[in-house]
Amino acid sequence: MTTTNTKASKGKSISLIPFSKAALNLQVKILFEAQLKNSCLEVSFEIECEDMTTLDLPSVVEIPQRKMQLWESSCFEFFLKPTQKNCYWEFNLSPDRNWNCLKLNSYRNLEGEEAQVKLLDIQIEESSLNLFRLKVTFDLKTIPELYQTIQEDKQFKIGPAAILKTKKGRLTYWANSHSQDEPDFHNKRNFAFWKL
């Protein structure tokens, strides 16, 4: 894992690790990067793959929609958790630009879709045949409870993750770390600290 902090832009850079060693056969690298500028969190996921045709990435839709179960196919995720609270938020970002944001009261205890988040504007960049990049900017003030807690604590936890589906239908799981016998993106032990 590589973590970079800079005072000016408050950045994070994390190379995601596959849960299964078999996923290494895909010859894929996934880099998560995030910048915090005032209250705006800029997030990107970058896939570098020797043969992108081995991955099942859905085509970009013209009008993205809020959808559940995006994790049943290729999907990027990140979790934001205040350090002093049990609650946390889950962001789902599909390569087709569909999205969701969920609030959980405690570990896997889903309260529901975060109603205060109306839209996530996802940008897709495919700069070459072996590179895919997804970017999204999110204003933390949209969720006052989360923003206020982060301001008070001057730190929070962030859990980047990804699910990549192959053309053969196999799902591979990627995260900051894996601390259990099964992939579990919700496990806070796999989250990274972000100190402001």
pLDDT tens digits, residue range 5-60? 434 447 899 999 999 877 767 789 999 999 998 899 999 999 999 889 899 999 99
For residue 3, tell me if it sits in a domain.
Answer: no
pLDDT at residue number 127: 67
Measured between its terminal Cα atoms, the distance across the chain in Å is 20
Name the band, by pLDDT with cuts 50, 70 and 90, for residue 196. Answer: confident
Domain count, the chain: 1
| pLDDT(69) > 90 | yes
Tokens of 123: 């940008």
Cα separation, 50 vs 72, whole angstroms? 24
| pLDDT(99) > 80 | yes
Sign of torsion, CA 176 73 104 65?
Answer: positive
Q: Output the CA angle 147-151-184, nearest 5 degrees.
A: 60
pLDDT at residue number 96: 96
For residue 146, tell me if it sits in a domain.
Answer: yes
pLDDT at residue number 2: 43
| pLDDT(3) > 90 | no
Q: Which domain holds residue 42?
A: 11-195
For residue 85, tell me if it sits in a domain.
Answer: yes
| pLDDT(183) > 80 | yes
4: CB partners within 8 A, 6+ apart: 11, 12, 13
pLDDT at residue number 10: 72
For residue 139, tell me if it sits in a domain.
Answer: yes
pLDDT at residue number 121: 87
Kindly report, residue by residue over 121-175, the tens digit of the pLDDT. Answer: 899 987 678 999 999 999 999 999 999 999 999 999 999 999 999 999 999 999 9
Report helix, strand or coil for 98.
coil
| pLDDT(84) > 80 | yes
pLDDT at residue number 26: 79
Q: Give mean pLDDT, residues 55-73.
A: 94
CATH number of domain containing 118 = 2.60.40.1190
Cα separation, 165 vs 74, whole angstroms? 5
| Segment (H or E) for 147 | helix 144-153
For residue 15, tell me if it sits in a domain.
Answer: yes
pLDDT at residue number 181: 86
For residue 6, tell me if it sits in a domain.
Answer: no
For residue 129, tell me if it sits in a domain.
Answer: yes
Q: How many helices (H) and strands (E) does the chain have?
A: 1, 13
Nearest to 78 by CA among 51, 44, 115, 122: 44
Give φ, ψ of 188 to 5 degrees.
Answer: -65, -20
For residue 4, tell me if it sits in a domain.
Answer: no
| pLDDT(63) > 80 | yes
Residue carrying the six token digits 């995030």: 34
Pairing of strands 40-49, 122-128: unpaired
